[in-house]
Structure formats: structure tokens, C-alpha cells
């Protein structure tokens, strides 16, 4: 996976819409400030790698719905990475994930984090 200037790592999925919203909001803002950005979906957050999985996640103002944030993030060139081991551990396969998302390994996660200028880990 190509490294980016900003990496947001999220561990929670639909069970914690506040954390999901903050991760996507922050990553989108990195793009809007002119930085390249990647969101890594790990642990339970891998469920967000399924097409349409962010639909309905909306914690309300002043935040935008996550599906809107995701669309803007991807339109702006943001990348989504899915932890392959976490995906398998949670009962998903690559076929379950959005084909635009890259399935990555632990060494890829290390490379992304070590080469980023800034990171945000939401656990």
C-alpha cells in the first residue's frame, strides 16, 4: 500500500458511531488541508469495509453522516485499508469488502504508521 501523510486507525465499528464519525471527520479534514490520507479499519471496524456499511451512521450536528464523509473522502483521493487478519478473525472475506478498499497485513500497518507525518488512533 502506498504511504500517506495522515493515517487514521479505527478499531470500533457500528457499535460506536461517535468514534467512527470522528475518525472519518478527521481524515476528511486532513484531505481538505491538502494532505494525503488513509483510514485503516481494524478489529471491529472491519465491518465498515462492506459496501453500504456506513449508511445510517449519523450522530447529528455538527457532524455529517458517515456515508457523506466517506463519499467526500474517497472523492478527494482518500484511501481505505482493511486489516486482513482482523477481517478473517471477524468472519469476513475479501469478497465481502468494497473492492475499492485494499486488504493489508500487519507489516503494511507498520509501514503506513511509520511513514505518516501524522496519525490518529481511535481505540
pTM of the model: 0.96
Identify the CA nearest to 43 among candidates 84, 7, 8, 3. 84
The tens place of each residue's pLDDT in the chain, 123 residues long, gives: 899 999 999 999 999 999 999 999 999 999 999 999 999 999 999 999 999 999 999 999 999 999 999 999 999 999 999 999 999 999 999 999 999 999 999 999 999 999 999 999 998
104: β partners: 83
Kindly list the strands in the beta sheet with 118-122, ordered across the sheet, starting from the edge strand earlier in the chain. Answer: 102-104, 79-83, 37-41, 6-10, 118-122
Three-state DSSP state, 62? coil
Query: In the prediction, which pLDDT does 93 show?
Result: 97
Amino acid at each position: 500500500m502506498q504511504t500517506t501523510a495522515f493515517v487514521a486507525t479505527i478499531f470500533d465499528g457500528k457499535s460506536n458511531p461517535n468514534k467512527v464519525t470522528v475518525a472519518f471527520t478527521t481524515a476528511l479534514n486532513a484531505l481538505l488541508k491538502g494532505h494525503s490520507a488513509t483510514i485503516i479499519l481494524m478489529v471491529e471496524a472491519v465491518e465498515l469495509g462492506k459496501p453500504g456499511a456506513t449508511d445510517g451512521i449519523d450522530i447529528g450536528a455538527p457532524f455529517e453522516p458517515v456515508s457523506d464523509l466517506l463519499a467526500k473522502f474517497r472523492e478527494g483521493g482518500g484511501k481505505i485499508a482493511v486489516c486482513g487478519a482482523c477481517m478473517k478473525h471477524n468472519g469476513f472475506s475479501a469478497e465481502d469488502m468494497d473492492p475499492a478498499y485494499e486488504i493489508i497485513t500487519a507489516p503494511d500497518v507498520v509501514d503506513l504508521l511509520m511513514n505518516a507525518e501524522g496519525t490518529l488512533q481511535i481505540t
